[in-house]
Amino acid sequence: MEFIKQSIDKILLTIAGVIFLFALVVGAMHFRESHLITKEGVSLALNDNAYEPLDVTSPQILTQTWEKAPHQRRGEDWIYDVFTPPVIYYNPVTLQFTVTPPDFRRPVVLTEDPFQVELLDVRPRPYRIQLVGYLGKEGDYVATFEYVPTKATLVGRPGKRFPQAHVELRSFEVEKETTTVGNMPIVDLVAKAVIYDEDSGEEVLLTNQERRMLTGPEAVFRIKGNAIIEYTYTEGGIILNGPQTYTINRLQVYPPQATLILTSPDLEEPIVKSISPVSRGSFDSDDDNFFNP
């Protein structure tokens, strides 16, 4: 076995030597060829046909010349007017934006009776503050008032100013007044207050026995078809309803009546009409059940 192993090793060494010598021969040959190319150079043989570039035809591009722009209507310096931003308006009635001026007028449909105002009530006009009573005991009374516009209760002693009513309480007292019914005298306590009216600059006497009224009545109106909004005016007041203008010419408490003057661009001349109160449950509407008093 040892002999066989030594024989195989010799064979392998011999093969390796042959491969090494072959590699040396091949390398020498390649080196010689590259050396010859570098030393002698390489020549290229060309045929007799010389290179001639081909003609390239350029594409034809059609052009068009615009005519000279005329002057704009704004003047000679305004040559180009490509884009002008539009004027944007806001219509508070429709709550929308528009590029045209909004029309705030409501369309008016002329009928046989163009009056669109209804009278609800004509009544005496109360003074804005009324004495309704008092609190406390003799020698230490506190006056109580009603502020008519809001129905609020105001309380105070002399010297108290009520800014919402524009008045100041100057004095207050409770007096005994005797009246005779048949042969029997009746003693009653009457509260009296003197206030200073800052608007008129005058002193006004108020009692808890009667309401103080102003000169001239007031009337309550509404527009036909609208049972929610009511308007309170005195003589000379003006009610606007779209293009219609109603001027309150005269008010009468007994019997209740109001005389109005209607003017409108749709009318050739003003219309004077006297109207009487209607029921609050009666109004011009497509839905008869819209409002129930």
- Considering only CA atoms, which of 255, 242, 289 is closest in space to residue 119? 255
- Beta-strand (E) ranges in 7-98? 89-91, 96-98
What pTM was computed for the model? 0.47
CA dist list (Å): 156 to 62, 140, 141, 161: 97, 11, 9, 8
- Considering only CA atoms, which of 16, 12, 263 is closest in space to residue 117? 263
The per-residue pLDDT for range 143-155, each reduced to its tens digit, is 999 999 899 999 9
Query: Measured between alpha carbons, how far is 192 from 173 in angstroms, rounded to an integer?
Result: 6
The per-residue pLDDT for range 262-288, each reduced to its tens digit, is 999 888 889 999 999 988 775 554 444
Report which listed range, 32-36, 49-53, 116-120, is most confident. Answer: 116-120
CA dihedral of residues 60, 64, 65, 69 (deg, nearest 10): -160
pLDDT of residue 178: 77
pLDDT of residue 291: 38
Q: How confident is the model at residue 17 (pLDDT cuts 50, 70, 90)?
A: confident
Query: Measured between alpha carbons, how far is 127 from 202 in angstroms, rounded to an integer?
Result: 13
Beta carbons within 8 Å of 117's beta carbon, 6+ residues apart? 221, 222, 223, 224, 239, 241, 246, 260, 275
What is the DSSP code (8-state) at residue 49?
P
Q: Is the pLDDT of residue 87 over 80?
A: no
Pairing of strands 202-207, 152-156: unpaired
pLDDT of residue 101: 65
pLDDT of residue 38: 55
Q: How confident is the model at residue 85 (pLDDT cuts 50, 70, 90)?
A: low
Specify the long-range contacts of residues 156-162, CB closer than 8 Å, at least 24 apart: 162/129
DSSP three-state, residue 94: coil
Q: Which of 21-25, 27-31, 128-132, 198-202 has the lowest mean pLDDT?
A: 27-31
